Structure 1
Amino acid sequence: MQKNYYTLLSLSILSALYSSSSLANIDDLRQRCLAGVPQISGEVVQGDPNDQPVYIEADKANVVNPSRAVYNGEVDFKQGNRHLQADEVEVTQSGDGDNTQRYAYVRGGFDYKDDLIKINGDNAKVHLNSKDTDITNGNYQLVGRQGRGTAETSEIREGYRLFKNATFTSCLPDDNAWQIDASEMKQYVQEEYAEMWHARFKVAGVPVFYTPYLQLPLGDRRRSGLLIPSAGSSSRDGYWYAQPIYWNIAPNYDATFTPKYMSDRGWQMNGEFRYLNALGEGKLAAEYLGKDRYNEYTGSDEDRKRHLFYWAHNAKLWDNWRLNVDYTKVSDKRYFSDFDSDYGSSTDGYATQYARLSYYQPNWNFAVSIKKFQVFDDVDIGPYRALPQIDFNYYKNGLANGWADFKLFAQAVHFDNDSSSMPTAWRYHVEPSINVPFSNRYGSLNIETKLYATHYQQKAGTGEDANTQGSVNRVLPQVKVDLQTVLASKETLFKGYMQTIEPHVQYLYRPYKDQSNIGSKQHSSYLGLGYDSALLQQDYYSLFRDRRYSGLDRIASANQFTLGGTTRFYDKNSEERFNLSLGQIIYLNNSRIDDTTENSTTGRSSSWALESNWKLNDKWNWKGSYQYDTRLDATSLMNSTLEYNPERNNLVQLNYRYASKEYINQNLTSSVNRYNQDIQQVGAVVAWEVADNWAVVGRYYHDVALNKPVEQYAGVQYNSCCWAVGVGVRRYLVNENAKRQYSGEKDTLYDHGIGVTFELRGLGGNDHRSGIVRMLDKGMLPYIKSPEL
């Protein structure tokens, strides 16, 4: 729960002072910045510094009497972490016993350094009993972090430093990009912040802002105040400005309020509350716009209140209980299309509303959950909700003298729908399985038997399914035999590489059972897929799944072999450089769930599925996947990514993705919004730290089928040791028009905007990020790093 702090009065100078956790990679800019910061040498001496012995060296020492001594010529004073060098030091002593007072007077210039601060000045008075120090005409610089300044007079005390007629900046010496002048400045050592009175903010020596009071961070501790603001313009929002306000409620509670003004929409109020206590950790968030003034809604009779509520919670209750909540609800289906939010995306297509309470033991567990979805598609009837759902799992290995493993899954769930025309049901399911594993150095063989036993108690709706069967029983046995082996050879086509060949063969049998009497079988929105089933997408690894459909309402028959294999190449350092996986299902009989051809496989085999990763060298990586539909004799799905990543965050990535309209439509749960053309997109991402101070990001995605760009983005950021500014320009296809474009209409709507960020660096830590990661994360299609082999 780490956040830095700023006062409200710093808003006028756009003091974007928030710094996140630093990157693991230490770049040249950071090294250069930290090189200009004094560091303590050796180990920090622990304990009370006043209890440490004092060492004094000087060219000449004149002890006038027991109460006065004068040291001259390269005086070197050390005590613990304190180190003082001066031309002349006079030490006096007065009083007796416990009332003894000792002072040191430093004249003719000095240099002082400890583990927190380095100071040089004209004269100093040091109370040797308490080490309170008064300095005239001092120059100070923080140790181990950026921060320096001057002061006409300085009072150094145990818990604070008080400077009169002082300056402060996080810039390095000889860099006067910005500076704050104050009549009085008080720096709190332990709390790591500074208060300033009659503060004047200067840019390149020119005053640009005055405030009677200002507070700035000097470390990583959380405090209430302003976070980094953001501003920009958009063709739909107009000019906008968002200012996060951070409230450090307690060490385990904090909140962030973000008023956002959009000239074409109005004020949007956003808030986030984070907590960590005995009941768990979580986050509550809300976004609210009282009346959307966007011109598309002007004059509309609709309630244009736009809002979002989000709750995420994870808890470990006592020793064995867990509670998980993931709840998102928005006011309307277009919310994530109209607003950028940290709590959802228009590409998701739905918002999840989910809660689960679970209990765990070594051999068994159970859970009670509720689940609901808010879909953003234009459908007349939404998906079913599971309220409640009870799951039970039991595991027991090593049965039959260690030969077999037993597993039992049981579930009871109630399905309901917002539409009274749809049937509702209780589903009771028991799924025992026994697996007999065999393995040796050559491979493994697993023989598994499983039984699906399901009972439905259904209640007909008022619609077309008024004759829904009330009670349905379904019992399906299953047998699966899975064989895998690994063959390795150093005799390959490529010298110096070792190759493995990993054949994978699986046989799966499950008899046919007509399941059209389960759930809605007539409503056009559901394709007869029951209450919670959907056709699963296919890739190489999914070929070896037990079932074609998610959920339990549709368990298709199976009499099939899955043939596949993977080959891998390893270099002399045993690092995997290339892999290729290829597989296909051979159907001995069609896989069916009812008597219709729409829900049955056709042909004797599935699509060929191929996946590959190739690490060409330490800088180049390629990955790709391909599916060939044997029924249509055509490509159904293809993805390819080539990435060049020479160092740190510098990269160039080229992407290509293709999905045939037949593949898309067969994987849709709903029959509405059918796509009438292929999706074919090419894209490129470039991110580069041009120099220590400059970083650029460019992104372009183009739809080949439409011959229109999907998204365009260009961002540039300038970074120095003590300030940074970034500008991003973006143009992207508005998601609400996606259905229109893929239905064949040529009209498309774009949103275009510009955003500006500015921050002062070095105040809340030594973070010198280039800004590339933040710019890459922006967008409809964010950058995804190629996986390492």
Structure 2
Amino acid sequence: MRKPLRLLPLSFCIALALPAHAQDESEDWGLCRVTDVVPAFDDAPTAAAGAGTPEARAQAPTDIEGGSLARASDDENIVVQDNVRLSRGDQFLGTDSLLYNADTGRYTAEGSIRYQDAGMRIVAERAEGDQNADTHRIENLQYQLTDRRGHGGADRIELRGRYGSLVGSTYTTCDPSEPGWQLRAGRIDIDTEEGMGVARNATLRIGKVPVLYVPWFMFPVDDRRRTGLLYPSISLSGRNGFDYKQPIYLNLAPNYDATLTPRLMSDRGVQLGGEFRWLYPEGGGTLSGEWMPDDRLPEREPDRYLRSMGELPDERGLFRMTANHDLNRAWYARANLGWVSDPHYLEDFSNSLYAVSRYTITSTAGLFGRGRYWDAGLMADHQQLADYTLTERQLRYDRLPRAYVNWSQPFGRWFQAGLNAEAVRFQHSVRDEGSRLDIKPYLAMPLEGASWFLTPKVAWRYTAYQLDDDLAARLGNDAPTRSLPITSVDAGLFFDRETTVLGKRYLQTLEPRMFYLNAPYRDQTGLPLFDTRPMTFSWGQLFRDNRYTGPDRQIDANQLTTAVTTRFISEADGRERLSASLGQIQYFNDSRVVVPGESPVERGRSAWVADVGFSPTDRWTINAAYQWDPKFRREDLASIRARYLVGDYGVVNLGYRYRRDLVEQVDFSFLYPINRNWSLVGRYYYSLEENKLLESIAGIQWESCCLAARLVARRYIRDRDGDLDDSLRLEIELKGLGSAGQKTEGVLRRAILGYDRDDLYLVPPSSLPTGNVEHTPDPIL
């Protein structure tokens, strides 16, 4: 039958008992056994999808089923039923006996009280209350969360309208048989309208030992943002001394907020940081900055600053803003601005080798559009020096402004027409300036079949300049131009066959490819060099029509690339077990177009370029690249990267990188599991070219179902002079609650590729990690 009785708000009551600062379920619970403190109820109905929302519950009726009607009195309108089961939406309440007076609204439920919804399950001994007065009392209950890990109990819960109290409540994410940690509170008082709770006599226990006692603290009980303190960050280093950061969150409005972060460094002084965020239907953004009125670090190391700046920096700071605004489906505006007070800032306020390697801050802003066959933009960018070992002359040009359009569209049945165009004004504080227009229309004929492709293409490149007086006087022309045709033919075949290797069946492919390029010579010594430089020779360059990054130089070419790729694809699982590529360019004539300091490309053959990817098993992955110059009989490049997966979560990486006259490095890193709970982590990153350590890490980790501890020692380059710094980090993590100590996972995730086994890449990340580099305005090149 159907009654107007609404279910008790049990799930909400228990949610109030959870600590507001419990972390989101991004934890690894792989070491936990599948145990249910509160087992699933066999007599609970299956809820429909979407029934767990507050709106769905409010509209759903309450169904009551009972075994027998014990007594019904018209005078008192009292109904008593045995083995009662109530359901509404995703909510279910079962009890052995329910006594309910519809006139007074009073009820009593006793014996095997069972409740569940989409987020939890509860068992209790007794519940009573008054529906009309909205007062309730639940006694001796145990709960288990089902939407995330966690369980606990309470001696009783008392509700009085918007207010509630929990007496003798507990919470943990550990297995019941292994109580690694538990949070207990003598009493928790809740105000549901304000969304805040006050815990009294709260104790955190690790095992049976109380490690933290808090007589009183306030916390939120829902997901409303509130002004208050966030978790602090505490560390210790030789440069900063004792380092304490305390974020203060300010909830200013539903669509914008702010965070202030005062920071105390005992050996350097006080710093104030802040971040302001805003959001609206068409976009949003972030404005952040830091300011330090008096940094004592330059006073300890004055020579480094005086050599590059001529004075000691006093007030130091950083500014960064990112913003976006969508105008319509095709057009949008973007801004990414950054500024630092001095070229030592990034180095002095970071602890990453990658941050030290950045030498400039690029600020960009513009209007951009994209359609089915086109993309375009009108933008500007500005460079700021962030490396004290360089000078302003070595900065790239500012582009104030830059307009570009790229268009490519099928034309008729056989053809494809396109255009790449750009107009730029180049400005610089100490270098000659000018403007450039570059237009490159083209027509291609992409033909293809099931086992072949053929793409002839003809393009015309026109580049014109308008130079300022000083640059025009040096080059002999204030408006030089360049115009030339570029033709190419790209063709390839695909062959495949079934084969057997060591008893395993594979599909082997053979993919020969040829790329012919022809462009006549044009004397370009009278053209400036604004943003053009030679590209690193690699596999991709075998099939490009220019070996330079920008349009200030267009190569002359009469050359043919021949290349071949073969792949072995397992027929058992479809995985590519081997991929090997080999290619070379045949230069039929000398290529005379060069940039200053570069030698012409002579007639003959280029270096052989070889790339190999090999996965002999699901645990081994090996990638190698090699370049051999037959003319000088020398290797120009050698690189090998190997990864081995150990057990369910371990990984070992080994890398070697060599490029002639530039770099020779080895990199070894690992996460090695000793057993189910203990593992070792380490990295050794060394430059053979400079005979110098770049970074070393050694650490040990212990992890259980709900507890983790990490002790990591690290030595790393802290500045561009190559000075090394040491740090020791200890972190203790209570899964589902929080951690104490300095964060280590960000450092390990960057240093050990595949540390979390969800991101098994073999090359370094394209952007710097934010967890350990405090100041890295993007993009910085």
- The alignment's C-alpha RMSD in Å is 3.8
Q: Distance in 1 between matches of 2:175 and 2:596?
A: 75
Instruction: Tell me: CA distance 1:158–1:37, structure 2 relative to 1, closer, same or farther (3 Å).
Output: farther
From 526, 533, 549, give the equivalent of 1:517.
Answer: 526
Count of residues in Structure 1 that have an aligned counterpart in Structure 2: 713
Equivalences for 1:650-689 in 2 at 5 Å? 650-661=650-661, 664=662, 679-688=663-672
Residues in 1 aligned to 2:649 and 2:276: alpha-carbon distance in whole angstroms? 32
Of 446, 454, 475, the match for 1:437:
446
Q: Distance in 2 between matches of 1:450 and 1:757?
A: 60
> Where do 1:426-575 residues align within 5 Å?
426-461=435-470, 466=474, 469-491=477-499, 496-519=505-528, 530-573=529-572, 574-575=574-575
- Closer, same or farther: CA 601–555 of 1 in aligned 2, 3 Å: same
Structure-2 separation of matches of 1:434 and 1:397: 10
After TM superposition, list the pairs within 5 Å mapping 1:370-769 onto structure 2.
370-375=380-385, 376=387, 378-381=390-393, 382-399=395-412, 402-419=413-430, 422-461=431-470, 466=474, 469-491=477-499, 496-519=505-528, 530-573=529-572, 574-593=574-593, 598-602=598-602, 604-646=604-646, 649-661=649-661, 664=662, 679-688=663-672, 693-694=677-678, 696-737=680-721, 748-762=722-736
What is the Cα deviation at residue 407 of structure 1?
Answer: 1.0
What runs of 5+ residues in structure 2 fail to find an aligned partner? 1-18, 52-56, 764-781
Equivalence for 2:108: 105
Would you say 1:126 and 2:124 are equivalent positions? Answer: no
- Residue correspondence of structure 1 range 204-283 to structure 2 within 5 A: 204-206=208-210, 208-215=212-219, 223-283=226-286
Task: Report how far residue 566 of structure 1 moved.
Answer: 0.9
Q: What do residues 295-315 of structure 1 show as CA deviations (whole Å, max 9, x unaligned)?
A: 543597412433222223343
Change in 2 beyond 3 A, CA 1:384/1:470? same
Q: Is the 8 A contact 1:458 1:468 kept in 2?
A: no
AA at the equivalent of 1:196: A
Report the Cα distance in structure 2 between the residues aligned to 1:457 and 1:585, rounded to whole angstroms: 36
Q: 1:321 to 1:566 in 2, by over 3 A?
A: same
Retained in 1: the 8 A contact 2:181–2:734? Answer: no
Which residue in the other structure is 1:744 paired with? none
How many Å apart are 1:64 and its aligned residue?
A: 8.1
Partner of 1:195: 198
For the residues of structure 1 that align with 2:752 and 2:737, how far apart are their CA atoms? 33
User: Offset at 1:750?
Assistant: 0.6
SS of the residue 1:776 aligns to: helix
Aligned letter for 2:642? L
The counterpart of 2:30, out of the listed 28, 31, 35, is: 28
1:656 and 1:250, CA in 2 relative to 1: closer, same or farther beyond 3 A?
A: farther
1:340 to 1:715, Cα distance in 2 relative to 1, 3 A: farther
Work out the CA distance in 2 between the residues paired with 1:396 and 1:50.
54
Cα separation, 1, equivalents of 2:301 and 2:675: 46
1:776 matches 2:755: no
Partners of 2:61 and 2:500 lie apart in 1 by 71
2:379–2:402: 8 Å Cα contact kept in structure 1? yes
The partner residue of 1:186 within 190, 198, 206 is 190
In structure 2, relative to structure 1, the CA distance for the partners of 1:210 and 1:128 (3 Å cut) is: closer
Q: 1:380, 1:79 → 2: CA distance? A: 73
Matched AA of 1:403: W
For each residue in 1:113-149, what CA deviation from the matched residue of structure 2 results, as whole angstroms up to 9, or x when unmatched?
2325655556432335687421345555555445555
Shift of the alpha carbon at 1:173? 4.1
Contact 2:138/2:157, CA 8 A, preserved across alignment: yes
Any stretches of 5+ residues in structure 1 without a counterpart?
1-14, 95-99, 520-529, 665-678, 738-747
**Deviations for 1:533-573, whole angstroms, at most 9, x for unmatched residues?**
01111211221111111111111211111111211111114
1:588-639 CA-to-partner distances (Å, cap 9, x unmatched) read 1222225977342246222221111112121111111112234442222222
Question: What do residues 721-766 of structure 1 show as CA deviations (whole Å, max 9, x unaligned)?
Answer: 55544333211123412xxxxxxxxxx52111123334443359xx
Amino acid at match of 1:576: E
- Cα distance in 1 for partners of 2:210, 2:279 equals 45
Please list the CA deviations of residues 302-350 of structure 1 after superposition, one character each: whole Å capped at 9, or x if unmatched.
1243322222334321232122223333233333333238998233443
In structure 2, C-alpha distance between the alignment counterparts of 1:716 and 1:224, rounded to whole Å: 37
1:68-101 Cα shifts (integer Å, max 9, x gaps): 87979x8555444333435xx472537xxxxx12
Work out whether residues 16 and 758 of structure 1, in 8 Å CA contact, stay in contact via their aligned partners in 2.
no
Q: Aligned in 2, Cα 1:697/1:292: closer, same or farther, shift over 3 Å?
A: same
1:284 alignment partner in structure 2 = 287
Q: Aligned-pair distance for 1:474?
A: 0.8
Counterpart of 2:9 in structure 1 is none
**Shift, 1:431, TM fit:** 1.1
After superposition, residues 77-116 of structure 1 pair within 5 angstroms as: 77-80=85-88, 81-86=91-96, 89=97, 91=99, 93=101, 100-106=103-109, 110-115=112-117
The whole-number CA distance in structure 1 between the counterparts of 2:752 and 2:360 is 15
Q: Is the 8 A contact 1:167 1:182 kept in 2?
A: no
Pick which of 721-730 and 322-331 moved more. Answer: 721-730
What is the one-letter code of the residue matched to 1:636? D
Identity of aligned residues (%): 28
Question: How big is the shift at 1:164?
Answer: 3.9
* Structure 2 counterpart of 1:55, from 57, 65, 78: 65
- Name the CA distance, whole Å, in 2 between partners of 1:186 and 1:209: 20
CA separation of 1:604/1:631 partners in 2, compared to 1, >3 Å: closer, same or farther?
Answer: same
Name the SS for the 1:345 alignment partner. Answer: helix
Spell out, residue by residue over 1:211-256, the C-alpha distance to the aligned partner (whole angstroms, 9 max, x if none).
Answer: 43321557x6655444443332222222223333444445543444
Pair 37,425 (structure 1): closer, same or farther in 2 beyond 3 Å? farther
Distance 1:317 1:350, change over 3 A: same
Amino acid at match of 1:114: Q
Contact 2:445–2:456, Cα closer than 8 Å, also in 1: yes
User: One-letter code of the match for 1:683?
Assistant: D
Distance between the aligned counterparts of 2:752 and 2:705, measured in 1? 32
Q: Name the aligned partner's letter for residue 471 of structure 1.
A: A
